[in-house]
Chains A and B, each alone.
Chain A
Amino acid sequence: MSASVLYDAPGPKAVVRNRIYAVVGSLAIAALIAISIVRLADKGHLAPAMWDIFNYTGIRQNIADALLATLKAFGLAAIGSLVLGVVLVVGRLSDHKPVRWAATTFIELFRSLPLLITIYAIWVGFLTDYSMWALAAGLSVYNGCVQAEVLRAGINSVPKGQSEAAYALGMSKTQVMVSVLMPQAIRSMLPTIIGQLVVTLKDTSLGFIILYPELLQTARLIASNTQVNGQYPYVSTIVVIGTLYIAMCLLLSALATWIEKRGRRAKTGIKVAPGAPAAGIPAMEAVPGPDAGGAGGAGPTADGAGATGVTKD
């Protein structure tokens, strides 16, 4: 074990003490897990019959359909939020005061409201019969605002000389935006953008509340409609569905990390922002106003990578 900043390479006493802590800690954690398992087993939640339901083709079909529904909503929301993000950031950086003002108000308002409230209002007010579109619209509005802020941070991080040089060549503002600023902003912010897409993916589970048959809603239906030995298989269903969600999110996060690593090696000279899963907008400039990701922090966080060697996984 290597020493970190916070503690010396342990001497004999410390080694013993750390071992004791390790044993006690492991035992405590193991005990917690064991107690949970025993309690669940006592109530018959871990009986083979509970897990056997996932061998039925009907239930498998249900889960496959639900997965597809979740991915559909996610795909729509991802495209919607990225398009809206670009539109909003262009509005926010516009030369015309009313446009700028409108975009800023829109972003600030929808970013500081619970996503669920927005989705529910859209569903009840406008798209009662189209829960998928209501979900996608709500997700797009909220995440579009967040993506707009991410892109703005990206555009502001492009060295000033770049746009000055482009203007000096006689490019119009649109040309500068499209061919100089945006590509670099998107490239440097790609990990953060994908991090926000992970949040978007997680938030598709809010479709559960507006009765859109996505994974979570299906999980609840399966659990409340199948009876095994007179009990409802909530535990097994939640474990299966939870594994699916975690796998999907980890895949996306891994993609973000991979792009970030690749970006660091690239010779383009564009600095890639840190994009650990759900990492926020890097503190190259403070983002004003109350802001936070839908289901987690997207705020100006510092890069949590081992700058001082304190962090170790």
Chain B
Amino acid sequence: MNVLLDNFPEFRDGFIGTVSITAVSSVIALVLGVLIAGFRVSPVPPLRYFGTAWVTLMRNTPLTLLFLIFFFVVPEILFPGMSPFVLGSLALGFYTSSFVCEAVRSGINTVPLGQAEAARSIGMTFAQTLQIVVLPQATRSVIPPLSSIFIALTKNSAIAGAFSVAELFGWQKLMSDRGYDIVPVFIWVAIGYLIVTFTISGLFRLLERRMEVAR
């Protein structure tokens, strides 16, 4: 208990750090993921190849390596002196986008064939079919896998702590450097993460209930 009480400000900052990096990366991952999924089902071959290459690369690269790329290579391409928080969110968002993309793609596959055919038969274009008919229905079946993807994202955000972003893992490191016993520190950090992950799964369960439609 002492560990938490004596270092509560740092713990609070760490917790807020974890929540904010998770939130920012989630938005990046969602936007990119849906976009790339659109690429992968589009009638334009180069975009399809790009989407496939993107997913293959991002999925088979360890996240830690991606963090290295973002912290040592990207600033060289853009401009030096970007904040660790921004770089970390980008790395997490890019990495997770490939998983979001695949979830959305399998969601599109669950929409009955007739729906897309009907949309086309009344003369909708590819973009309209996707926006008005397919994606809204795909959303429902995408929610459960998305929930586990975002929980994975929360857990992966710990890696950002090793790259000097203030979050819970950073707090764990700080405490063990200050010589506290690791067991209570571990328990507090675990509780912090569990709060975030349970909130996410709760939110998604709510969403699922809200979106339930008789089929």
Interfacial residues, chain A to chain B (CB-CB below 8 A): 1, 4-8, 10, 14, 18, 21-22, 25-26, 29, 35-36, 39-40, 43, 45, 109, 112-117, 120-121, 124-125, 198, 202-206, 208-209, 216, 219-220, 223, 234-235, 238, 241-242, 245-246, 249-250, 253, 277-278, 280, 286, 289-304, 306-308, 310-313
Contacts and interface: CB of A to CB of B under 8 A. Distances in A.
Contact of B57 (A204, A246, A278): A246
B145 to A, nearest CB: 5
Interface string B101-142: 011011111110100110010000110011000100000010
Contacts of B200: 290
30 contacts: A4-B41, A18-B44, A22-B46, A39-B77, A109-B190, A112-B193, A116-B161, A116-B162, A117-B158, A117-B189, A120-B172, A120-B173, A209-B64, A216-B64, A216-B65, A220-B68, A223-B72, A235-B76, A238-B73, A290-B198, A292-B151, A293-B152, A295-B156, A297-B102, A297-B149, A300-B144, A304-B102, A308-B109, A310-B105, A311-B108
Given A21-B42, A112-B193, A294-B155, 19 more contacts: A10-B43, A14-B43, A18-B43, A114-B154, A116-B162, A125-B182, A198-B60, A202-B61, A223-B72, A235-B73, A246-B61, A249-B59, A277-B59, A280-B145, A290-B148, A295-B152, A296-B99, A297-B152, A301-B145
Contact of B60 (A6, A249, A286, A299): A249
Contacts of B57: 246
Interface residues of B, number: 80
B185 to A, nearest CB: 8
A113 B188 CA distance: 12
A297 B43 contact: no
Nearest to B130: A6
B123 to A, nearest CB: 10
Nearest to B187: A121
A209 B162 contact: yes
Contact of A115 (B46, B130, B155): B155
Given A40-B77, A301-B145, A121 B182 contact: yes
Contacts of A124: 176, 182
Given A39-B77, A245-B60, A290-B201, A302 B110 contact: yes
